[in-house]
Chain A
Amino acid sequence: GNSVTQMEGPVTLSEEAFLTINCTYTATGYPSLFWYVQYPGEGLQLLLKATKADDKGSNKGFEATYRKETTSFHLEKGSVQVSDSAVYFCALSDEYSGAGSYQLTFGKGTKLSVIP
């Protein structure tokens, strides 16, 4: 079956530090890959996505590259801000669930805290 493994948190960084959150996956087909972010007390929001090998997704200064050879989709940001404090989820879409929709498989999430 499909699975997503994220680095365990929590991760605590100082403002303007470099961020990497590792994500590796196992999939039987050719998945699309996503990063979602969850701010305290809220639902998840799509942060970025990549749909095929070597694609780079980017948004709000965050980037992730779809690496098929290493089955990875690591999230990076060059300079984090206090407002980036949240839980980050890596996910893949590969399992067909009917009527043109695919199920997402999520990692367990990585909590990021950025301190001033």
Chain B
Amino acid sequence: DGGITQSPKYLFRKEGQNVTLSCEQNLNHDAMYWYRQDPGQGLRLIYYSQIVNDFQKGDIAEGYSVSREKKESFPLTVTSAQKNPTAFYLCASTRGGQGRNSPLHFGNGTRLTVT
């Protein structure tokens, strides 16, 4: 079955370290997204990518970086510049060209804890 795989499910890091979260999809989707979820705040968009080798900042991109070298992969790096990195991170994808009716497909998330 096709889907989105995020790994690892739980990640622990010391403050000051960069950490990379993996997101792989085998849905042949063009567009991929990273969201951050905090209690009571819903989902906030970090970065998104419509095609390989291109990506755009979302609403809260500061302290994060991404790459899109392959259609299937969209890793997110949480850098030491991110002031409050502890959160639940969700990767999503959708097929491009479907208009506004196209729903997002989500991975199961990575819970990052920085101490």
Contacts and interface: CB of A to CB of B under 8 A. Distances in A.
Interface stretch (A37-45, A63-71, A73-81): A37-45
Interface residues of A, number: 27
Nearest to A31: B100
Nearest to A109: B42
A32 B56 contact: no
Given A43-B106, A99-B50, A101-B94, A108 B99 contact: no
B64 to A, nearest CB: 17
A44 B50 contact: no
A100 interface: yes
A101 B42 contact: no
B31 A99 contact: yes
A24 interface: no
Contact of A93 (B4, B41, B48, B100): B100
B43 A89 contact: yes
B102 interface: yes
Given A42-B108, A99-B31, A32 B90 contact: no
Contacts of A107: 42
Interface string B95-115: 011111111111111000000
B19 interface: no
Contact of B90 (A44, A94, A97, A102): A44
Contacts of B102: 93, 101-102
Contacts of A49: 101, 103
Which 7 pairs of residues, A with B, have the shortest CB-CB distance? A43-B106, A100-B97, A99-B50, A108-B42, A93-B100, A102-B100, A101-B31
Interface of A: 31-32, 34, 36, 41-46, 49, 51, 89, 93-94, 97-104, 106-109
19 contacts: A32-B101, A43-B4, A43-B107, A44-B104, A45-B106, A49-B101, A51-B100, A51-B101, A89-B42, A93-B100, A97-B31, A98-B50, A98-B56, A99-B31, A99-B50, A101-B30, A101-B50, A101-B96, A108-B41
